[in-house]
Amino acid sequence: MNSTSYQACPECDLLIDLVQPEIGEKIHCPRCGLLLLRPRKQSIERTFALSIAGLILFVPANFLPMVGITLLGKANTGILLSGVISLFNENMWPVSIVVFLASILFPLAHISLSLLISGHLYFNRCNRNLVSWMRWMHHLDEWVMLEVYMLSIIVACVKLMAISPLIIGWGLYAFIALIIVTALLTSSLDKELFWQRIEQLSRDNNHAS
Amino acid sequence: MRAKQCALKQGFINCHDCGYLVKITQQLSSCPRCHSHLHERKPHSLQRTCALLLSSFFLYIPANIFPIMTVTQFGTGDAHTIAGGIIELIDGGMIPIGLLVLVASILVPSSKLIGISLLLLSVHFRWKINARRWTFMYRVIAFIGRWSMLDIFMISILVDLVDFTGVQIIAGPAAIAFAAVVILTMFAAENFDPRLLWDNQ
Ligand SMILES: [Zn+2]
Ligand SMILES: [Zn+2]
């Protein structure tokens, strides 16, 4: 039995004899319905381009003011990091660290890793760290919470509108663009293809040396 | 697509990290593709999930009793619990937003706690269940968990913006407990292995 044509469903352990799907096709597990494979068109190229775009957008999204309010003649605007710092100064450091990780560090790490991996695959460069980068990225997936943060901005704005007029800054537009880019990035990244390419690259490299 | 069989019973282990299918042999302990440790099922899945779940149940009490934030206006403080903040939103006529916060901060965490408890009980006592439906429930629980962070992020925004001489918003102790509940239940869902639901069938 050649194990490469077989796959097991990660959620019900059904052994499936897979026919490599066409681009745009979706393969679901016949027993539990989990989406198993969804090959994307030009997955590596798109992931590479979107990672660069995401990394560029990360700068204005983090350093330009997002929203602000005016109260008693004084204006206050905030960025992602200033919320973290305010919580830290109130001795709420456990919460402040959680917010920092989920809204700044993990998104940055996730985009950087996908840039590194797709860049190496795009230029056919072999690197022995590729495997650990892939695993890191896989474990970070769930902890990137930009879209949840976006919803919190909306709720906070509704609450604040009751007490003061809102100031919308360029940082917010950059942040929205960043969320769109990360969503596209997640959908264009075909993990199975990436793993196969990494395996192939390291095999070619071993033959060459 | 044929062979409706459990991969483990056929002598294969599915790698947790990269999804590579590995034939079980005696000398192989790590995945040939990603070098992560191979396990038949997530290690100590039930014990770990149970420990994380019990800690979240325990922390869920202070998260709901203590104030999550305090609004100070010219010396007088007004403390809100999670439920208090939602009631205030709905009283103020902001019903859709109030309902959104109700779902994210109360319905999602409590249904997650109950859902993971049911999953654990059903595996432990080998209940006769519709595994497909329960796997779907597991998937919903794993998906919705992160959205409970809504309240925590909102507090960080409010604390940062409403900071004037005279008017201030300060985070309360419940924020730490609530953030811990959200993270612990996320870890609990991650440690639960849905394949255990199928092994009992
Ligand atoms: Zn399945
Ligand atoms: Zn692996």
- Residues of A within 8 A of B164 (CB-CB) are 71-72, 74, 76
pLDDT (tens digit, 9 = 90+) per residue, B58-98?
Answer: 999 999 999 999 888 887 888 889 998 889 888 888 888 88
What pLDDT was estimated at residue A21?
78
Which of these, A46, A201, A3, lies nearest to A121 by C-alpha position?
A: A201
pLDDT of A7 above 90: no
A104 secondary structure, DSSP code:
I
- Residues of A within 8 A of B12 (CB-CB) are 3, 6, 8, 15
pLDDT of A165 above 90: no
The residue ranges of every structural domain in chain B are 1-40, 44-199
pLDDT (tens digit, 9 = 90+) per residue, B162-198?
Answer: 888 788 888 999 999 999 999 999 999 999 999 998 8
pLDDT band at B3 (very low <50, low <70, confident <90, very high): very low
What pLDDT was estimated at residue B7?
84
Which of these, A80, A92, A81, A93, lies nearest to A149 by C-alpha position?
A: A80
CB < 8 Å from A in window 25-44 of B: 33-36
- What average pLDDT score do residues A57-67 get? 93
DSSP string, B148-161: GGHHHHHHHHHHHH
pLDDT of B25 above 50: yes
On whether the CB atoms of residues B117 and B127 are closer than 8 A, the answer is no
What pLDDT was estimated at residue B165?
78
Q: How far apart are CA A147 and CA A107, in angstroms?
A: 11
CB < 8 Å from B in window 1-60 of A: 3, 6-19, 30-34
* Longest pairwise C-alpha distance within chain B: 72
- What average pLDDT score do residues A177-202 get? 91
CB < 8 Å from B in window 105-134 of A: 131, 134
pLDDT of A1 above 70: no
Give the 3-state secondary structure of A23-64.
CCCCEECCCCCCEEECCCCCHHHHHHHHHHHHHHHHHHHHHC
H or E element in which residue B22 lies: strand B21-23
Q: How far apart are CA A142 and CA B190, in angstroms?
A: 10
A158 touches chain B (CB under 8 A): yes
What pLDDT was estimated at residue A2?
39
Which of these, B147, B122, B85, lies nearest to B199 by C-alpha position?
A: B122
CATH fold of B44-199 reads Butyryl-CoA Dehydrogenase, subunit A; domain 3 (1.20.140)
B38 secondary structure, DSSP code:
P
Q: How far apart are CA A72 and CA B167, in angstroms?
A: 9
pLDDT band at A209 (very low <50, low <70, confident <90, very high): low
pLDDT of B46 above 90: yes
- Cα distances from B183 to residues A65, A103, A164, B60, B85, in angstroms, run 28, 14, 33, 12, 22
pLDDT of B2 above 50: no
pLDDT (tens digit, 9 = 90+) per residue, A73-99?
Answer: 788 888 889 999 999 998 899 999 999
Comparing B200 with B199, the larger pLDDT belongs to B199
pLDDT of B27 above 80: no
Q: What is the mean pLDDT of chain A?
A: 89
Look at B20 and A195 and tell me if their CB atoms are within 8 Å: yes
Of A34, A158, A195, the CB nearest to B18: A195
Pairing relationship of beta strands B12-14 and B21-23 according to DSSP bridges: antiparallel
On whether the CB atoms of residues A16 and A9 are closer than 8 A, the answer is yes
B126 touches chain A (CB under 8 A): no
pLDDT (tens digit, 9 = 90+) per residue, B134-171?
Answer: 999 999 999 998 999 999 999 999 999 988 878 888 89
What pLDDT was estimated at residue B19?
85
Look at A71 and B171 and tell me if their CB atoms are within 8 Å: no
pTM as predicted: 0.91
pLDDT (tens digit, 9 = 90+) per residue, A97-156?
Answer: 999 999 999 999 999 999 999 999 999 888 888 999 999 999 999 999 999 999 999 999
- Residues of B within 8 A of A158 (CB-CB) are 94, 97
- Chain A residue with the nearest C-alpha to that of B89: A159
Q: Which long-range contacts (CB under 8 A, 24 or more apart) does A126-135 make?
A: A126/A201, A126/A202, A126/A204, A126/A205, A128/A202, A130/A198, A130/A201, A130/A202, A131/A198, A131/B33, A131/B34, A131/B35, A134/A191, A134/A194, A134/A195, A134/A198, A134/B18, A134/B34, A135/B17, A135/B18, A135/B34, A135/B36
Q: How far apart are CA A17 and CA A3, in angstroms?
A: 9
